[in-house]
Structure 1
Amino acid sequence: MTSYTLAKKVIAPVKPERGVFPLDHQGECKELMLKYMLCLSRNESKPSKCQSESKEYFQCRMDRNLMKKHEWEDLGYFKEQQKKITD
């Protein structure tokens, strides 16, 4: 009789690519996510109108290690854009 042994494959965890986030299983940022989604629905799904809400949501995720910390400019938030939106 021949015996075959199957090599066990070890799958090492891979760091998520930028823009891919772990799920918020504990719902730590759920309230801010809902606030952002409500803003989108009120503003014809235009993210530019909801930058403050999305920024709060990202800040929550970064504070709780649900995403890597980034500079705001790296995430597309620029001071000039913020001024235009609030004016």
Structure 2
Amino acid sequence: MSTAMTFGQKQFIPTPPDKGSFPLDHEGACKKTMVKYMKCLYNNNSNNTLCRDEAKDYLACRMDNGLMAKEDWSKLGFKDETAQIKEKAQ
């Protein structure tokens, strides 16, 4: 296959998605929390509602280790926890 460009053809420049994709954990910084979350899913027939604490721990680990952008918990589906933290602060 030729890599030559045809005149007038626009060059495709890929851009990463805003969410839904993040760097792999090559160093294994969050492997322990990931395994804990995966075991929870396995033991609960993939019912992620029962594994919210494990999911939150895993996401916190990824944010703390620079493997994903820091986000407000409410944007990650943890609105209940965000409201509880605000109530306790008052």
Asked if TM exceeds 0.5, the reply is: yes
Secondary structure of the structure 2 residue equivalent to 1:60:
helix
Write the distance in 2 (CA, Å) between the matches of 1:19 and 1:62: 14
Runs of 4+ in structure 1 deviating by more than 2 angstroms, as ranges, are: 12-17
- Alignment identity in percent? 47
Equivalent residue pairs, number? 73
What is the TM-score when the length of structure 2 is the normalising length? 0.71
Write the distance in 2 (CA, Å) between the matches of 1:13 and 1:53: 33
Stretches of structure 1 lacking an aligned partner (at least 5 in a row): 1-5
Per-residue deviation, residues 22-71 of structure 1 (Å, max 9, x unmatched): 00000000000000000000101011110000000000000011000000
CA RMSD, 1 decimal:
2.1
**Aligned residue number for residue 62 of structure 1:** 63
Q: CA deviation at 1:17?
A: 2.3
- Is 1:75 aligned to 2:70, yes or no? no
Structure having greater relative contact order (Cα 8 Å, sep ≥ 6): 1
What is the TM-score when the length of structure 1 is the normalising length? 0.73
